[in-house]
Structure 1
Amino acid sequence: MKKNKLLIASALSVSLLGAVAIPSAIFADSDVTDSANIPTTATQDAGTTTTSDHVITPQSVGNSFNFTVGGSATAPGSFEVPKGFGHVKLRIRNYANAPVDFTVQHNDSGKVYVDGQTVRKNSETVWRSTDAGISDGLRSGRYTIQFRGGTNKVNVEIWGVAGSLPSDAK
């Protein structure tokens, strides 16, 4: 009787071992190492870009926005620049059949960063803080962007981004 119990226990142990070993062998990674299986770490300055090494370049973008302004000859919009993200890019599309002028002003200080820049009719313009010679970036806070169409109604769409590096506004 003891031999039967021992035989049954041994058979059960072998079965359980097989139930664990076979799936482990199926899902195990190869022990053979080649250059494709060796993990590598790539480091790169966030301000540089590459074209062939498939490195993802992180960008610190604090705020992006998109809105439409229009309906009258003078129309305001607003956006915010978070602290530390003063490098700004604005892309403005004028859908009207007449040119519009725009002004960008910091609400708290009253400082005007853009004064009367024109967007031609049915066209688009891009304004970058870096191109305007503002190397340290815009002040943080709320901004008003004012559009004027003269005697014509304004109809514009604004896309913008505020980043931590000058390259974020490119």
Structure 2
Amino acid sequence: MTGFWDSGDVSAAERRQRRMEEARRRVESGENSPPPPTPAAPAAATRSRTTRAPRAATVDPVSVADAQYAVWRSVQHFCLSDSLPDASGRNLDLLIAWSDTIQPFRLRPRIVARLDSDGAWLPVCYAKDGARDPITQAQAERYRDARVEGAGLSGGAQKPLKETDHPESTVAL
């Protein structure tokens, strides 16, 4: 005997034929068919999604009608209280489109701010690749506070700006 199925008097071809006949019989009798589908469970109340922390509120850049806007080269430029914006104007979309001419293919987005009634600049969005990127209310307040108080944002991780890094004048659009 060389294997489990060896019976000595039956050839391998005959054993294969018997297995095929047994399989055919099971298929025809329904033994090999899958079980019938289980009835659908009654519609139970769906689980509500877990409550996540609410997303940070974003600033609406056009919430004030006829506002004055300005764009800076970066957040670092904006946070320096004595830095001039690169451009200013009343048309937000034109200002954002123009901002790509400051330094094309810039990795850091430029920042756009709106002049409020107190004469302070409030960041309203980023300008990147000619489009608006939203800014959260918390970021806007942090940047405004850094500009007013003169505090650094990243604890000194950024290189200080040189005098030549700032625009000499603001372009009116």
| TM-score, normalising length: structure 2 | 0.30
- Higher Rg: 2
Pick the structure with more strand per residue: 1
| TM-score, normalising length: structure 1 | 0.30
